[in-house]
């Protein structure tokens, strides 16, 4: 699975990008805030108008990563339906599904899982997070059971 840097290049190290006008920076801030707060309808309007569904901030967090990490299943579903990639890792190598597992947002985990999220992408990956934080319901969803010494795939799930 490619990292953010491999797909998009190095993230900006400054909080602002001097080549963009202040209005563009204000709009980007607004879009990331809409994803973070789960304000789905206005965000969907921007996506429909042409904002890329895989827009990333300086940390490499996509709109989907922010919606997922903050527990907004409806917003995550809308972004996936609009073409957002469930497997883009941020600049720290984290995936949206691992973030949702970490935070305990089961509905977001289900949305991402159904949307094609790779449970082995990132570090730590979603399975590692589910094991670390004893999220047995996630392991069951992923078809993995916790056993001595590691994960055991479960047939037929």
In CATH, what number is assigned to the domain containing residue 71? 1.25.40.20
Distance CA 112, CA 73 (A): 9
**DSSP string across 63-94:** HHHHHHHTT-HHHHHHHHHTT--TT---TTS-
Is 38 within a domain? yes
Q: What's residue 108's pLDDT?
A: 98
Question: Could you give the count of Cα atoms lying within 13 Å of 126 in the half-sphere of its Cβ?
Answer: 35
- 89-107 burial code (b ≥16 CB/10 A, e <16): bbbebbbbbbbbbbbebbe
pLDDT value of position 3: 56
pLDDT tens-digit profile of 51-77? 999 999 999 999 999 999 999 999 999
Question: Would residue 137 count as lying in a domain?
Answer: no
pLDDT of amino acid 145: 72
Domain membership of residue 116 as a residue range: 22-122
- Residue 103 in any domain: the answer is yes
Residue 10 falls inside a structural domain: no
Residue 7, pLDDT score: 56
Tens digit of pLDDT at every position of the chain (157 positions):
555 555 555 554 444 455 778 899 899 999 999 999 999 999 999 999 999 999 999 999 999 999 999 999 999 999 999 999 999 999 999 999 999 999 999 999 999 999 999 999 999 999 999 999 999 999 999 998 765 445 545 555 4
Instruction: Please give the model's pTM, rounded to 2 decimal places.
Output: 0.82
Distance CA 137, CA 83 (A): 27
Q: Where are the beta strands (DSSP E) in the chain?
A: 144-147, 150-153
pLDDT the model gives residue 16: 46
CA distance 3 to 59: 12
3-state secondary structure of 48: helix
Report yes or no on 144 lying in a domain: no
Q: Residue 88 falls within a domain, yes or no?
A: yes
| Distance of alpha carbon 151 from alpha carbon 155, whole angstroms | 13
What is the per-residue pLDDT for 13?
44
Chain centroid to Cα 89, Å, comes to 8
Per the structure, the count of domains in the chain is 1
């Amino acid at each position: 699975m490619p990292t953010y840097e491999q797909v998009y290049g190095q993230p900006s190290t400054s909080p602002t990008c001097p080549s963009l006008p202040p209005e563009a920076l204000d709009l980007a801030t607004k879009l990331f805030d809409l994803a973070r707060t789960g304000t789905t309808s206005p965000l969907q309007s921007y996506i429909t108008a042409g904002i890329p569904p895989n827009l990333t901030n300086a940390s490499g967090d996509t709109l989907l990563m922010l919606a997922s990490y903050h527990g907004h299943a409806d917003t995550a579903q809308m972004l996936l339906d609009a073409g957002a990639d469930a497997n883009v890792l941020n600049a720290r190598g984290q995936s949206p599904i691992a973030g949702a597992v970490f935070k305990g947002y089961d509905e977001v985990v289900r949305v991402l899982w159904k949307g094609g999220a790779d449970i082995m992408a990132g570090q730590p990956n979603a399975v590692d997070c589910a094991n670390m934080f004893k999220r047995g319901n996630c392991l069951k969803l992923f078809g993995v059971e916790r056993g001595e010494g590691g994960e055991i795939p479960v047939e037929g799930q």
